[in-house]
Amino acid sequence: MGAGTDVVLRLDAITKRFGGLVANDAISLSLRKGEVIALLGENGAGKTTLMNILFGQYTADSGSVAVMGQTLPPGNSRAALEAGVGMVHQHFTLADNMSVQENITLGVDPLLAPGLNRAAARKRILDLAERFHLAVHPDARVGSLSVGERQRVEILKALYRDMKVLILDEPTAVLTPQETDDLFATLRQAVASGLSIIFISHKLHEVMAIAHRVVVLRHGRLVGEVATEDTDKSALSAMMMGGAEARAPEVSRTEPGRALMELRGVSTPNIGNAPGLKDVTLSLRAGQILGLAGVSGNGQAALAEVVGGQRKPGSGTLVLNDAPPTAWTPRDAVRRGIARIPEDRHKTGTISDFDLTENAILERYKGTPFSSHGWLNWRAARRFADEIIQKYDVRCPGADTRIRLLSGGNMQKLILGRVLEAAPQIILANQPVRGLDIGAVNYVHSQLLAARDRGAAVLLISEDLDEITRLSDVIHVISEGRLSPGFARGQKSPAELGIWMAGQGFADAS
């Protein structure tokens, strides 16, 4: 291993509470020069909180962070940066309307410096980009870049500042398998030139591939620390899950029934940088889960909007139960038995300042049983909310609680209940488990499988290839709005799907 012996970073007994929740419980770890540590844990284990403390975005309740032996002042990102700690957040922190160069040089010079030396900055960016194989143009507007390119900009930001420690928060979540390999190559090269890396992930095979050492967090505690060469995936998995291993639901095979919804040659216009659909044909069959794989921002949103009633096909036809619908709005979609689980449960799925009752009837307040002639029937609404809370095990103080106070998992259960109680024919599940802890993930998956088994057609959209391959009976890949042919369960390996995700294999690809 190329790890040196000198410690560049030391975390000492970091503790952080949010209200009653202990997000980090006396966590200590140290990172050596040229070393890659993987920080492994399920959603909610405390990885991101720990890194935000290290990077000075949160202040720890107790404990300290030292870089090269110097203790950092708490809650001061500037000090962390100046000490040489850089962070690539899971949600990129880039300004879309500004150029790559502007994004990279933001905050590098003292604010009151008289001017920007743009020529020198540009040269340095081009040099770094070439040396680390991070192809991106300094003048490009960030808003016009793909997700993979944006990540390169984020990494360039850190390299430009000569960082000693780089924190990467779930960097592969948005990449194709090939892009992940490229990223790893870049990182290995950077490590060879002296950079140290903390790599946050919950994907075991990636951790095994890139890290020298693995640190495992569970429920805010550090539960294991082991050199990669002394462990394997199953040992790590056991550490991550703890004794009470949550079991993923069994997936049985079913015979698909008739097509409930079909898209025939559907195209939609591009919206800004988001590609529209290009001549997409697919059919959602009863008793089948159709998985849509792809890097985010490749037309998934447009497809979800067409299926969910927010958008009419620009050209081509949408066929619902053998006939094109005469009107197509979200309300029509709900009335025609389409259950819609939106991508962002906080922003589009729920209204945070509404209580559970008000959120429960959001799609169906119009008409019986929740209103008649414009008058709401709050009693019926309340009964409905109570029913969901009970049946779907939504943990909350009561139906009159504002939904913002619920955890992501419980919020998602309310949405599930809201749409599944109508016994829908078709289920549109857009990133249904993003950000959920393992228990909630399994719950959502088992509900989708149960719906399939009773004859519903499920469209599962996800960036997580593992989720797609495990649940889907048939898989399509979407890239720049184009749809691949359908592949039966197990027909293609993740690497093969990755090639499609990168845009190769399509008939019109050059």
Partner 1 sequence: MEILEILFTASFWAAAIRIATPLILGTLGELICERAGVLNLGIEGIMVAGAFAGWMAVYSGTGLWMGVAVAMGVGMLFGLLHSILTVPFGLSQHVVGLGVTLLATSSTYYAYRLALPEVTSPPKITAFQPYEIPVLSDLPLVGPALFSQTPFTYLAFVLVLAVSLILFRTPLGLAVRAAGENPAAVAAQGLSVTAIRMGAVIVGSGFMAMGGAFLTMSAFDSFFFEMVNGRGWICIALVVFGSWMPGKALLGAVLFAAFDALQIRVQQTEFGADIPYQIFLMMPYILSILALILMSRRAQVPAALMVPFNKGER
Partner 2 sequence: MRLEPIENPGIARRLGPPALALGATVVIASLLAMVAGANPFSVLGLILKGAFGSQFAILETLNRATPLIFTGLAVAVAFRAKFWNIGAEAQLYGGALVTVVFGTGMLALPAYSMLPLLALLAVIAGALLLLVPAILKVRFGVDEVVTTLLFNFIFLLFISMLLEGPLKDPMGMGWPKSARVLPEARLPRIVEGLRLHWGFALALIAALCVWVIQTRTTLGYEMRAVGLNREAAAFAGIPVNRVLLQTALLSGGLAALAGFSEVSGLKGSLTLDLSPGYGYTGIIVAMLALLNPLGVVISALFVAGIFVGADSMSRAAGVPTYLADIMLATALLLMVLAILLTRFRVVRG
Query: Is residue 113 within the footprint of partner 1 (CB under 8 A)?
Result: yes
Burial of 353 by CB count in 10 Å (0-12 exposed, 13-18 middle, 19+ buried)?
exposed
10, 203, 312, 366: residue in contact with partner 2 (rule CB under 8 A): 366
User: Residue 215 has which token pair?
Assistant: 């640190």
Query: Is residue 311 within the footprint of partner 2 (CB under 8 A)?
Result: no
What span, in angstroms and rounded, lies between the C-alpha atoms of 394 and 408?
Answer: 11
Q: Which stretch, 266-274, 319-327, 349-357, 481-489, contacts partner 2 (CB under 8 A)?
A: 349-357
Q: Which is nearer to partner 1, 158 or 428 (CB)?
A: 158
User: Residue 334 has which token pair?
Assistant: 């709900």
User: Residue 501 has which token pair?
Assistant: 């995700």
Token pair 């819609």 is found at 340
Q: What is the DSSP letter of 236?
A: H
Which alpha helices (DSSP H) does 243-310 contain, by range?
A: 300-308
Look at residue 2 and give the partner it binds from partner 1, partner 2, none, a contact being a CB closer than 5 to 8 Å depending on partner kind: none
Token pair 């559907």 is found at 266
Please state the separation of Cα 216 from the chain's center in Å. Answer: 20
34, 41, 56, 84: residue in contact with partner 1 (rule CB under 8 A): 56
Query: Is residue 340 within the footprint of partner 2 (CB under 8 A)?
Result: yes
Query: Is residue 405 within the footprint of partner 2 (CB under 8 A)?
Result: yes
Look at residue 93 and give the partner it binds from partner 1, partner 2, none, a contact being a CB closer than 5 to 8 Å depending on partner kind: partner 1
Look at residue 375 and give the partner it binds from partner 2, partner 1, none, a contact being a CB closer than 5 to 8 Å depending on partner kind: partner 2
Look at residue 349 and give the partner it binds from partner 2, partner 1, none, a contact being a CB closer than 5 to 8 Å depending on partner kind: partner 2
Q: Which stretch, 138-146, 147-155, 364-372, 445-453, contacts partner 2 (CB under 8 A)?
A: 364-372
- What is the smallest separation between the CB atom of 358 and partner 2, expressed in angstroms? 7
Look at residue 310 and give the partner it binds from partner 2, partner 1, none, a contact being a CB closer than 5 to 8 Å depending on partner kind: partner 2
What span, in angstroms and rounded, lies between the C-alpha atoms of 326 and 349?
Answer: 26
235: left (phi over 0), alpha (psi -120 to 50) or beta: alpha
Binding residues for partner 2 restricted to 1-20, rule: CB under 8 A: 19
Look at residue 353 and give the partner it binds from partner 1, partner 2, none, a contact being a CB closer than 5 to 8 Å depending on partner kind: partner 2
What span, in angstroms and rounded, lies between the C-alpha atoms of 494 and 469?
Answer: 8
Note the maximum CA span of the chain: 75
Binding residues for partner 1 restricted to 60-89, rule: CB under 8 A: 76-82, 87, 89
- What is the smallest separation between the CB atom of 251 and partner 2, expressed in angstroms? 29
Q: Could you count the other beta carbons within 10 Å of the beta carbon of residue 71?
A: 13
E strands, 202-239, where? 213-218, 221-227
102, 170, 305, 358: residue in contact with partner 1 (rule CB under 8 A): 102
Look at residue 331 and give the partner it binds from partner 1, partner 2, none, a contact being a CB closer than 5 to 8 Å depending on partner kind: partner 2
Token pair 């993923």 is found at 248
What span, in angstroms and rounded, lies between the C-alpha atoms of 378 and 384?
Answer: 10
Please state the separation of Cα 191 from the chain's center in Å. Answer: 26
270, 281, 371, 407: residue in contact with partner 2 (rule CB under 8 A): 371
- What is the smallest separation between the CB atom of 439 and partner 2, expressed in angstroms? 22
Query: Is residue 401 within the footprint of partner 1 (CB under 8 A)?
Result: no
Query: Is residue 490 within the footprint of partner 1 (CB under 8 A)?
Result: no
User: Residue 137 has which token pair?
Assistant: 């143009």
Query: Is residue 149 within the footprint of partner 1 (CB under 8 A)?
Result: no
Q: Which is nearer to partner 1, 58 or 199 (CB)?
A: 58
Q: Which of 144, 224, 129, 234 is nearest to 186 (CA)?
A: 129
Query: Is residue 119 within the footprint of partner 1 (CB under 8 A)?
Result: no
Q: Which is nearer to partner 1, 122 or 331 (CB)?
A: 122
Cβ-contact 425, 435 below 8 angstroms:
no
What span, in angstroms and rounded, lies between the C-alpha atoms of 85 and 349?
Answer: 36
Residues lying near partner 2 in the complex (CB under 8 A) are found at: 19, 58-59, 74-75, 308-310, 329-331, 333-334, 340, 342, 347-354, 358, 362-363, 365-366, 371, 374-376, 404-405
